[in-house]
Amino acid sequence: MFAGSSRGTTLPGFRTTMTFTVVYLTAIVIVPLLTLPVKSFSQGWTFFAETILDPRVVASYRLTLGTSFAAACVNGVLGAVTAWVLVRYPFPGRRIVDAMIDLPFALPTAVAGITLTSLYGPKGWIGQYLSQFGIQGVFSPLGITIALIFIGLPFVVRTLQPVIADLDRELEEAAVSLGANRTQVIFRVILPYLYPAWLVGFGMAFARAIGEYGSVVFIAGNMPMKTEIASLLVITKLTQYDYAGAAAVAFVMLLLSFALLLALNAMQGWSVRRLGC
Amino acid sequence: MSVNVATASSPRPAGVGLTEPWLVRAGLTAIALLFFVTFLVVPLAFLFVEAFREGWKAYTAAIVDEAALASITLTLIVAAVSVPANTVFGFAAAWAITKFDFRGKRLLTTLIDLPFAVSPVVAGLIFVQLFGRQGWFGPWLQEHDVKVIFAVPGIVLATIFVSFPFVARELIAVMEASGREEEEAAKLLGANGWQTFRRVTLPNVKWAALTGVILCTARAMGEFGAVSVVSGRIRGETTTMPIQVEILYNEYAFQASFAVASLLAILAVVTLVLQTVIERRTRPVEDPPRPAELGV
């Protein structure tokens, strides 16, 4: 009797909650997602291969991955600086800045999309100065990257902040007492310690950017082969009633983000192992 | 020993070699603030300036416009269905996962997070493949004259999908940390399951649940990609607020578009404020924010 209770098995409600969880999850998530591989191959392997190897589709994957990577890199550097400053350097208004970092998670993507498009457009506050230098802030890969920097901004900051806060001051002090200068402490003690978490934040920003639609679709301009992202191509194929084609493009996108997530999980495990010891 | 003295006596880094030179600190702070202002403050300010560009009258006119009001109503309806559904699911899933041991727990937790890893466009697409004209259940639905895609049920389903994990993952995190002893004690003292949940579990997790509900609501009301695939954009019938923003923008009705968008922006700011307030209430001041609601 007591053996059972110590395992927590005497608490009621397991069967009810578990059944509901599994049924709801299956109906809302699993079954709908299963349509993707099924539909992708509904017209045979050749159709699938031809669809995803079509130059326009390949161009959209390249553009999506390229701009997502560029945005994740910018967030990787500036997000790390922001996290460091927020934890280590007290300045007035820090709490407001800290609270506002999550804005891109809370702001609907369509709202971000129209705002950035007008802001960086030829008449916008920022766009008018860019166009003076001949830089096209909208309807260009640069515009897509700007939108992706916006939506990915919180990831690196939020993954690094707690790790920087947990950083053991004694580690730095020990390094100093052993004769290291600040540059050496930063590059040989602090950065190696932060690296795993940074990589996770970077990967999350990257993965999120690959699937992004709302914030990008307005600013991209959507010219085939030039500024057409993969998620837009899915919608284009759908409106042309090419369901199998849409599913094929989407399925590859899903596989890409899963591959990234698996890599992330592996990194997280590695990160925990490193920080644990 | 000297190390201990150093840590105890200096709450703020002052020791030589323990912080960066003044110039570096100022420089890094300037870079971070510039990044913050350019990418977060300026867009938010610009959004409201555009919304009020033609004055208060034009702003209110854009909001009491018939199509705009219809979109606000639909958005509220969609949230009113999907948020409670995902909240009930969140409690059920968290109870099953944190209070019992079973095989496949990790897999189940991963599957619950899955919608965050799926592109919003794909989230819409999969429901078209299920309930659309050529979908798995398409012929059956047509026979019985039920419309799911390009109708409200499709919008609700897509919204439930994209806002699926929020409540569950907040509750799982907190209930995992609080353990099972209190519930087991309640049971030993003679409480039934429902009493245990209401009197013991719920008070412990109410703030986490509230955070989850707030984030779920924000996502449900603001979802664009998934909804745009299943909406069909039938004016006054299947246009949620984000879709209305898109329609107006594409019709070059910029001021009206930004006016509706400003409502969603206010919702976002309220979300952030509530989130911060709850975090301050439940966490000691010194604690850093946890890697919050990351989308993946």
Nearest to A119 among B42, B223, B264 (CB): B42
Chain A residues touching residue B108 (CB < 8 angstroms): 21-22, 25
Å between A46 CA and nearest CA of chain B: 21
Are B47 and B68 members of one domain? no
Average pLDDT, integer, range B204-217: 95
- Residue A193's pLDDT band (cuts 50, 70, 90): confident
Residue range A65-81, pLDDT digits in tens: 999 999 999 999 999 99
Give me the helices (H) in A103-220, please: 103-106, 109-120, 127-132, 141-166, 169-177, 182-185, 191-211, 214-220
Which of helix, strand or coil describes residue B172? Answer: helix
Tell me if B206 is assigned to some domain.
Answer: yes
Neighboring chain B residues of A257 at a CB cutoff of 8 Å: 117-119
| Same-domain check for residues B22 and B165 | no
**DSSP secondary structure letters along A32-77:** HHHHHHHHHTTTHHHHHHHHHHSHHHHHHHHHHHHHHHHHHHHHHH
Q: What is the mean pLDDT of chain B?
A: 89
Query: Do residues A111 and B47 touch, judged by C-beta distance below 8 A?
Result: yes
| Residues B148, B219 within the same domain | yes
Q: What is the DSSP secondary structure assignment for residue B127, as one 8-state letter?
A: H
B38 and B94 in a single domain? The answer is no
Q: Where does the pLDDT of residue B17 fall: very low under 50, low under 70, confident under 90, or very high at 90 and above? A: low
Residues A215, A232 contacting (CB under 8 angstroms): no
Residues of A in contact with B112 (CB under 8 A): 25
**Residues B46, B81 share a domain:** no
What pLDDT, in 10s, does the model give residues A92-114? Answer: 999 999 999 999 999 999 999 99
Tell whether B35 and B172 lie within a shared domain.
Answer: no
Tell me the shortest Cα–Cα distance from B268 to chain A, in angstroms. Answer: 5
Q: Which of B75, B67, B60, B61 is nearest to B264 (CA)?
A: B75
**Which among A9, A116, A154 is the nearest to B43, CB-wise?**
A116
CB-CB under 8 Å, B296 with A264: yes
Mean pLDDT of A164-181: 87
- B191, B272: one domain: yes
Q: In whole angstroms, what is the distance from residue A193 CA to residue A175 CA?
A: 13
Note whether B93 contacts A17, CB cutoff 8 Å.
yes
| pLDDT level of residue A182 (50, 70, 90 thresholds) | confident
Same domain, B158 and B107: yes
Q: What is the Cβ-side half-sphere exposure of residue B115, based on CA atoms within 13 angstroms?
A: 30
CATH superfamily of this structure's domain A45-276: MetI-like (1.10.3720.10)
Return the pLDDT at B6: 41
Can you give the CATH number for the domain in which B66 is found? 1.10.3720.10
Q: Residue B293 falls within a domain, yes or no?
A: no
Of B134, B223, B288, the CB nearest to A243: B134
Predicted local distance difference test score (pLDDT) of residue B262: 97
B131 touches chain A (CB under 8 A): no
Domain that holds residue B24: 16-51
Q: Tell me, what's the pLDDT at B282?
A: 83
In a domain, B291, yes or no: no
Q: B145 in the Ramachandran plot: left (φ > 0), alpha (ψ -120 to 50) or beta?
A: left
Indicate if the pLDDT at residue B9 is higher than 80.
no
> Tens digits of per-residue pLDDT, B152-192?
999 999 999 999 999 999 999 999 988 888 999 998 898 88
B276 and B136 housed in the same domain:
yes
Q: Is the pLDDT of residue A58 over 70?
A: yes
Question: Is it the case that residue B288 has pLDDT exceeding 50?
Answer: no
Q: Are residues B92 and B211 in the same domain?
A: yes
Q: Which two tokens stand for residue B27?
A: 């420089």
Domain count, chain B: 2
Does B74 share its domain with B104?
yes
Do B32 and B93 reside in the same domain of the chain?
no
How many Å separate Cα A260 from the centre of its chain? 10
Beta carbon pairs, A and B, within 8 Å: 333
pLDDT of residue A269: 73
Average pLDDT over residues A241-252: 93
Domain contains B34: yes
Question: In terms of C-beta density within 10 A (0-12 exposed, 13-18 middle, 19 or more buried), how is residue B224 classed?
Answer: buried
